[in-house]
Amino acid sequence: MATSEGRSGELAATGPEVIGPEVVGPLDTPQDSGAPSQRGPLPGIACLVGGAAVFSLQDVVIKLMSGGGYPLSEVLTMRGIVACVPLAFLLHFGGGGLTAVFSPRWKRLTFRALLLLVSYTTYYLAIANLPLAVAVALFFAAPLFIVLLSGPMLGEKVRPAQVAAVIVGFVGVLVICFGPSLLESNGESGSAVDSLLKPAALLALASPLFYGLASVMARQLADQESGAVMASYQNLVFLAGAVVTAILTNLGTDLSSGFSDKSLVFLLRPWIMPGTLDFLMIASTGLIGACGSFLLTQAYRLAAASVVTPFEYVSILYGTLFGWWLWNEVPHPTTFAGIALIIGAGLYVLRGQDGH
């Protein structure tokens, strides 16, 4: 999930994916610290597309590990430890130094990091049990939540046309969740409701909601805290949450025994010793976050946000291709229809925010 979060240039997935899914809601883009490149938008677009590809690889690694017998807490712990290295570098050279972490706004920073912990955890649990393209597409409902939350939380005026776009986007979400079951059950709604109420589908819908809340908080903090500080809090909270989960799931019996749901098993299973290849793959997610974050940040420095942000939706294409290639996941035709509605609504919201 590749998202650009925070107008201060925050590295959303250095703390975990930049969505992922560190995907990020494509609305909330880093503010340019300088004028956009005079060489045209292509360098910025190339960086954005490359960053989205990098973060899609992170989703692939986590989905592979979920099917390989590893628990989510083990993956997040190893990634959080590795991510400390590039984060320390970012703090030293552009984030105000290590002392900047001791912020008087530490409570708000911690609360925002907790929201992101819930967002990314629910996303990663969802991709363990959903086709990758579906999970990524549902995460891109985040811009719609941001629009709804920006009014009551930031006092921003939300135009009726934007509300209509949000409604269209949520229709797209419902089409993705209900569509396949409705068609396959010949119109019997029970099967469709059952599919919507599966834990994985609910997790996939919860993720963009909590991401939207965190993104709105990022806007509130952007003028006071650097992106490196916010990402550092995010990484520390992720690491703490993973360690606590690991302790709880490694005491006594295997808590995942007796469950068949892949998301719950991914959350509750105990740690296992990884092989060399798996260890390198898990550890690579920390470096993936740093590399992807750099590419996304560069994208918004080299070109105007209104130009490059729509290309964040290429993450859905990557998710579709990787899912088809690695797991033979072929999205249902109604899934493509829902994706089109979400993308269309998101692009309209972006256009409205740019004042057109």
pLDDT, tens digit, 9 for 90 and up, residues 159-180:
888 888 888 988 988 888 877 7
Answer whether residue 142 shows pLDDT above 70: yes
Q: Which of 71-75, 85-89, 181-185 has the highest mean pLDDT?
A: 71-75
Which of 127, 71, 44, 62 minimizes the C-alpha distance to 248? 71
Answer whether residue 353 shows pLDDT above 90: no
236 near 46, Cβ under 8 Å?
no
Which pLDDT score, from 0 to 100, does residue 224 have? 83
What dihedral do alpha carbons 50, 295, 44, 149 form, nearest 10°? 100
> For residues 75 and 299, which has the higher predicted lDDT (pLDDT)?
75
Band (pLDDT 50/70/90 cuts) for residue 181 is low
> For residues 224 and 186, which has the higher predicted lDDT (pLDDT)?
224
Residue 303 CA to residue 242 CA, distance in Å, equals 36
Answer whether residue 228 shows pLDDT above 60: yes
Q: What is the pLDDT of residues 16-33, one digit of tens each?
A: 343 333 333 333 334 444
Which of 299, 295, 304, 298 minimizes the C-alpha distance to 351? 304
Beta-carbon contacts of 344 under 8 Å, excluding residues fewer than 6 positions away, are: 168, 169, 172
Phi and psi of 304, rounded to 5°? -65, 145
Which pLDDT score, from 0 to 100, does residue 11 have? 36
Residue 317 CA to residue 319 CA, distance in Å, equals 5
**What's the average model confidence in pLDDT over 109-120?**
94
Lowest mean pLDDT across 37-41, 42-46, 133-137, 348-352: 37-41
Estimate the crossing angle of helix 276-302 against helix 42-67, to 10 degrees.
Answer: 160
Which pLDDT score, from 0 to 100, does residue 190 have? 47
3-state SS, residue 67: helix
Answer whether residue 138 shows pLDDT above 50: yes
